[in-house]
Amino acid sequence: MLTTLLTCQLMIVLDITVMNVALPRIQTDLHFSATGLSWVMSSYSLVFGGLLLLGGRAGDLFGRRTLFITGATLFTLASLAGGLAPAAGWLIAARVVQGIGGAMAGPSTLALLTTIFDEPKARMRVLALFSGMSSAGFAIGLIVGGLLTEWLSWRSVLFINVPFGLVVVALAVRYLPAAHRKPAHLDLPGAITATSGVATLVYGFISAASHGWGAATTEISLVAGIVLVAAFLIIESRTPQPLLPLRLFADRNRATAYANMFLTPMAGMSMFFFLTQFLQDVLGLSALATGFAFLPTAALMFTMIRLIPRLLPRFGPKPLAMTGAGAMVAGLLLLTRLTADSGYFPLLFVAMLLMGCGIGLAVSPLNVIIMSNVEPDDAGAAGGALQTLQQTGASLGLAALVTVFGTVSRSAGGSAQHALVSGMTTAFAAAAAIAALTFAVALTFRNSRPAT
């Protein structure tokens, strides 16, 4: 059961970054415009982020096993269709369906882990594994994407999901227990405002990255998204069976963990996005070498998988989150020292080690804190909220930092490479400021230790 659920989660997370390295070849093959190419990534993020809350609560109400199997099947079929795409529109449509499947399976994965493994020590271990798999998946996606793009073609980046997806579905049908179904009505007003609100916000962030914060589409989308989210919170406070029970935020440690689950990806995603370009456009590395350049980050994240179940009961969440945020700040500040003449060693290598350790320590305890003592009936909603905040934070952070990058690189003098690196280092400085905010939020954790 653990293998089935973690494999599905890794497959979903990989798809967020695995396409990055393949984008130049996709553009050439399917004749994407420069602006249209961003939708290969954005279409998945938009739908996945917008539907996570609905997917989490639907699993609580209609059966998590059913929703997990349906979502994994849909994701697998969409991956096959995307790999066969003859045109740009076909690929984007397949990515949308992938997002729908991911939003159905993702929250149910976390909820099933929480309810199946109900003994506290076992639950802490599997949640740490889930968190480590989710975090390391971002770096592994770049490595896998580089390997497949270099050795086969960009289409194999999508085809690789098919055998794994089929195994996940077969194992889920065979081994996952029938989940408890809660007799209730789906909160449709909450579902509509939550889904449209989060999707509109994510679209606003994507528009900010493409057209700037002052563009009409950006401003309208962000304002509409804020209004819809505010309406959603009002509805949730009044409905007897809410999509997102606000009592989840009553616990101080859980509320703090939710806040950092939003902030940490804002700072961390910039490293993957900008360093992929630096390694290829400045250092001239191939797609394969670019993927392997992120190996130190992935290795440190996987190391945290083993350490968190031992460290969290011993020290509690506060020291771990503070240490992780501090390592992220140090890694990002080191990246502000990049120049067009920088090599991989030692600066980039050390920065990647710090970021791998920092993200692993900062994020891995959060899943445990949020999900370890949640009521079984609310597990899907809690998991959906966790992943929604993570996805929205990553989208917002990337949009803000890409805007900083664009503004600085356009005004920088000198060569094209100098302008590119100037924009990146300024974006890394802004990301370091966000990581420092993560450190400040971590100070509000109660210095308690989870029971084992």
Q: What is the pLDDT of residues 245-292, one digit of tens each?
A: 888 898 888 999 999 999 998 888 778 878 888 888 889 888 778 878
d(CA 62, CA 58): 6
Phi-psi region of 251 (alpha: psi -120 to 50; beta: other; left: phi over 0): beta
pLDDT of residue 242: 85
pLDDT of residue 451: 46
Tell me the average pLDDT across 294-322: 82
Of 40, 45, 18, nearest to 30 (Cα)?
Answer: 40
**To the nearest whole percent, how much of the chain has pLDDT over 70?**
96
pLDDT of residue 201: 85
d(CA 414, CA 136): 37
Most confident of 84-88, 244-248, 314-318: 84-88
For residue 277 the two structure tokens come to 């370009």
Q: Are the C-beta atoms of 431 and 394 separated by less than 8 Å? A: no
For residue 45 the two structure tokens come to 């993020």
Q: What is the pLDDT of residues 217-244, one digit of tens each?
A: 889 999 999 999 999 999 989 888 788 8
- Residue 28: CB atoms within 10 A of its CB come to 10
CA angle, residues 301, 298, 75, in degrees to nearest 5: 100
- Residues with Cβ within 8 Å of 212's Cβ and at least 6 positions away in sequence, in order, are 218, 403, 406
CB crowding 349-368: b at 16 or more within 10 Å, else e: eebbbbbbbbbbbbbbbbbb
pLDDT of residue 179: 64
Phi-psi region of 245 (alpha: psi -120 to 50; beta: other; left: phi over 0): beta
Q: What is the pLDDT of residues 41-56, one digit of tens each?
A: 778 877 887 888 888 8
Residue 182, pLDDT > 70, answer no
pLDDT of residue 223: 94
- Residues with Cβ within 8 Å of 414's Cβ and at least 6 positions away in sequence, in order, are none
pLDDT confidence band for 22 (50 / 70 / 90): confident
Tell me the average pLDDT across 75-79: 95
d(CA 151, CA 299): 23
Q: What is the pLDDT of residues 373-415, one digit of tens each?
A: 788 777 777 888 888 888 888 877 877 888 888 888 888 877 8
d(CA 266, CA 253): 20
Q: Are the C-beta atoms of 274 and 352 separated by less than 8 Å? A: no
Residue 307, pLDDT > 80, answer yes
Residue 452, pLDDT > 70, answer no
State the residue for tokens 């400040």.
Answer: 440
- Out of 132-146, 164-178, 204-218, pick the least confident: 132-146
DSSP label at residue 243: S
- Out of 78-87, 129-138, 155-164, 200-209, pick the least confident: 129-138
d(CA 114, CA 127): 8
d(CA 148, CA 26): 13
d(CA 315, CA 312): 5
d(CA 97, CA 72): 11
pLDDT confidence band for 183 (50 / 70 / 90): low
CATH architecture of the domain with residue range 2-442? Up-down Bundle (1.20)
d(CA 79, CA 439): 38
Check residues 227 and 34 and name the one with the higher pLDDT: 227
Q: Are the C-beta atoms of 161 and 15 separated by less than 8 Å? A: yes
Check residues 80 and 109 and name the one with the higher pLDDT: 80
CB crowding 179-214: b at 16 or more within 10 Å, else e: beeeeeeebeebbbbbbbbbbbbbbbbbbbbbeebe
Q: What is the mean pLDDT of the chain?
A: 85
Residue 329, pLDDT > 70, answer yes
pLDDT of residue 67: 92
